[in-house]
């Protein structure tokens, strides 16, 4: 292969077509900005665009990303109310409603849909209804839920919906996207502290690209990452979004059923309804260090999508990242087989349970 990049530059029309495909994936007619960086870029851009001194934010913390959002909101001078729930559960719409009653000034709510790091998922539809009634803007981090769970941005009333390609979409990590509702544009445009002439400025993109008719790109796009994102959107459309979502649900159900049959580890998120389809987190048995267990599993099979939990969870949590191409029964079976070996359990009942749960989940989706 030639060491030179002899591809023609990505055209404005190709860039706009990719934005339109993302909008279709998110079930939105709102503007979509395909941001030229990893998903932390649009997450930070959305928060810095909306928050300012004098604004009050309800920051829902169900995993590590919520902590990051709280720090950005405080940095913007907003008053921040953190609603923190234990990471092995989901937040409920009732809890959000209570928090809004206690703090009527809330004008911005940040929420993570599915959490890959802790393995839980939140009921966005119900929460969005409560937030909308209150009149606040809702930002949802859907990086770990897009293509693994239904994501009905407009029907639910999500104002700022942020996605990345690197999880269930099985695509590139170097570009990401955010949909921006008309309400969100109004609030951001009215915010004197919103970034301008900045890499974090959504308003710059609106002015120089979206509102200018999407005919000339303001900067050279990340061409290879954009081509990869376009290809991944086409693949999801060809497979069918529902089928991709069903594969992720089936992988989570199969890992959970298999692990319960093994009996040596337990799902970190006990309630099936709170479990994310993108990754299953497991509690290591007493006396077994999760970091050591992850290392042993990878020695048995280097292709397994396993890692120890982050930060304080490194000793007790094992993550099975069954997203993208890893949302497959073969990957689930290989993971359970290695877990059986590493924890001296019988693999056969776990594989039987996993096969049954996989089949049931796929059938239920049809």
Q: Which residues bind ligand PLP (CB under 6 A)?
A: 38-40, 65, 112, 115-116, 141, 143-144, 164, 167
User: At its nearest, how many Å lie between ligand PLP and the CB of residue 144?
Assistant: 3
CA distance 253 to 52: 42
The token pair that represents 230 in the structure block = 């376009």
**CB closer to ligand PLP out of 39 and 137:** 39
**CB closer to ligand PLP out of 40 and 241:** 40
The vertex-353 CA angle with 352 and 354, nearest 5°, equals: 90
User: At its nearest, how many Å lie between ligand PLP and the CB of residue 45?
Assistant: 13
Helices and strands: H and E segment counts in the chain: 13, 11
CA distance 167 to 171: 7
**CB closer to ligand PLP out of 134 and 167:** 167
User: At its nearest, how many Å lie between ligand PLP and the CB of residue 173?
Assistant: 7
CA distance 340 to 355: 16
Longest dimension (CA), the chain: 63
CA distance 317 to 275: 15
User: At its nearest, how many Å lie between ligand PLP and the CB of residue 276?
Assistant: 9
CA distance 54 to 12: 38
CA distance 237 to 229: 12
- Which residue's Cβ has the minimum distance to ligand PLP? 144
Termini Cα distance of the chain: 43
Q: How many residues does the chain have?
A: 366
User: At its nearest, how many Å lie between ligand PLP and the CB of residue 282?
Assistant: 17
User: At its nearest, how many Å lie between ligand PLP and the CB of residue 70?
Assistant: 14
| DSSP β-bridge partners for residue 136 | none
User: At its nearest, how many Å lie between ligand PLP and the CB of residue 115?
Assistant: 5
The token pair that represents 264 in the structure block = 């040596």
CA distance 81 to 58: 5
CB contact at 8 A, 62 and 245: no
**CB closer to ligand PLP out of 12 and 173:** 173
What order do you get walking across the sheet with 306-308 strand by strand?
266-267, 280-283, 317-320, 306-308
**CB closer to ligand PLP out of 65 and 185:** 65
The vertex-234 CA angle with 231 and 235, nearest 5°, equals: 85
CB contact at 8 A, 201 and 178: no
**CB closer to ligand PLP out of 164 and 230:** 164
**CB closer to ligand PLP out of 40 and 93:** 40
User: At its nearest, how many Å lie between ligand PLP and the CB of residue 43?
Assistant: 7
**Angle separating helix axes 329-342 and 290-300, nearest 10 degrees:** 120
> Which residue has tokens 């990893």?
38
**CB closer to ligand PLP out of 125 and 193:** 125
**CB closer to ligand PLP out of 200 and 351:** 200
User: At its nearest, how many Å lie between ligand PLP and the CB of residue 180?
Assistant: 18
């Amino acid at each position: 292969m030639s060491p030179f990049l002899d591809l023609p530059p990505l055209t404005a029309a190709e860039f706009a077509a990719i934005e339109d495909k993302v909008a279709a994936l998110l079930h939105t007619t709102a503007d979509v900005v395909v941001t030229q960086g990893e998903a932390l870029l649009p997450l930070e851009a959305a928060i810095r665009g909306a928050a300012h001194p004098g604004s009050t934010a309800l920051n829902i913390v169900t995993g590590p990303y919520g902590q990051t959002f709280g720090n950005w909101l405080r940095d913007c001078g907003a008053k921040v109310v953190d609603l923190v729930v234990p990471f092995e559960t989901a937040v409920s719409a009732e809890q959000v409603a209570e928090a809004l009653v206690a703090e009527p000034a809330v004008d911005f709510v940040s929420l993570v849909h599915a959490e890959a790091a802790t393995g839980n998922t939140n009921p966005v539809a119900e929460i969005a209804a409560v937030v909308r009634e209150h009149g606040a803007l809702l930002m949802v981090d859907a990086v770990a839920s897009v293509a693994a769970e239904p994501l009905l941005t407009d029907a639910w009333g999500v104002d700022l919906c942020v996605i990345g390609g690197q999880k269930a979409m099985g695509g590139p990590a170097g570009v990401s996207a955010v949909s921006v509702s008309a309400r969100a544009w109004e609030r951001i445009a009215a915010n004197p502290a919103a970034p301008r002439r900045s890499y974090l400025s959504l308003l710059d993109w609106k002015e120089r690209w979206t509102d200018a008719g999407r005919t000339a790109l303001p900067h050279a796009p990340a061409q290879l990452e954009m081509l990869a994102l376009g290809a991944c959107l086409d693949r999801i459309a060809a497979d069918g979004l529902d089928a991709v979502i069903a594969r992720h649900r089936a992988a989570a159900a199969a890992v959970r059923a298999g692990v319960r049959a093994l009996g040596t580890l337990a799902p970190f998120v006990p309630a099936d309804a709170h479990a994310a389809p993108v990754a299953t987190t497991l509690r290591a048995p007493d006396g077994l260090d999760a970091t050591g267990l992850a290392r042993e599993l990878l020695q048995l099979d280097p292709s397994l999508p396993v890692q120890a939990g982050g930060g304080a969870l490194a000793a007790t949590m094992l993550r099975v990242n069954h997203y993208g191409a890893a949302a497959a029964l073969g990957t689930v079976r290989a993971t359970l087989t290695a877990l059986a070996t590493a924890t001296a359990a019988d693999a056969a009942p776990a594989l039987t349970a996993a096969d049954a749960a996989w089949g049931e989940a796929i059938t239920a989706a049809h």
